[in-house]
Amino acid sequence: MSIGMGVVYLIILSLFLGSTNIVKAAAALPCDDDRCKTGSCNSTGYCICNLPDPSTILDGDRPFQGGRFCDEEMTMCDGTNSFWCGNGGTCEEIVQGESYKCQCQTGHSGEHCELAGAPCGDIFCFHGGACLVENDVCDCPTD
């Protein structure tokens, strides 16, 4: 009969924390045979993974560790997560967990909707101008 890593972990924690904290330490043990990389799981046996800081998302398609045990490289993009795309753009996943494309709001463009203006052939339309696709020219507002 072998001693599981969870038991060893509890014994070591009890030496440092004292016996009154063993229950708290047991609640923080990784779920399902210590496979959870974050050491935190929910009531259904899935790990609670750490998501990337939303302020760093515009650096590119930053992957994070997800999946049942937080050991799979993934990207979070389901068409509603605006923090992947700036200025109100929405993210559209092209290949699950591998690549995505931003659908930008009118008036913005770029890989992450970070540019003001809309692409129009080889030029950009600014200040609310609309692209006349057939001629690749901007139709600018009169005011």
Q: What pLDDT, on the 0 to 100 scale, is given for residue 4?
A: 41
In 3D, which of 12, 14, 7 has the Cα closest to residue 30?
7
Q: What is the predicted pLDDT for the residue at 75?
A: 58
Give Cα 4 distance to the centre of its chain: 33
Q: Give me the half-sphere count of Cα atoms (radius 13 Å) on the Cβ side of residue 140.
A: 7
Q: Which pLDDT score is estimated for 28?
A: 42
**For residue 101, what are the contacts with CB-CB under 8 A and spacing of at least 6?**
91, 92, 94
pLDDT in tens, the chain (143 residues): 333 444 333 334 333 333 333 333 334 444 655 677 777 777 777 778 776 665 444 444 566 777 677 777 765 565 555 556 788 888 876 665 556 788 888 778 888 888 877 767 777 777 777 777 677 788 888 87
Looking at residue 22, what is its pLDDT?
33
Tell me the pTM: 0.37
| CB crowding 106-116: b at 16 or more within 10 Å, else e | ebbbbebbebe
Q: What pLDDT score was predicted for residue 76?
A: 58
At residue 26, what are phi and psi to the nearest 5 degrees? -65, -35
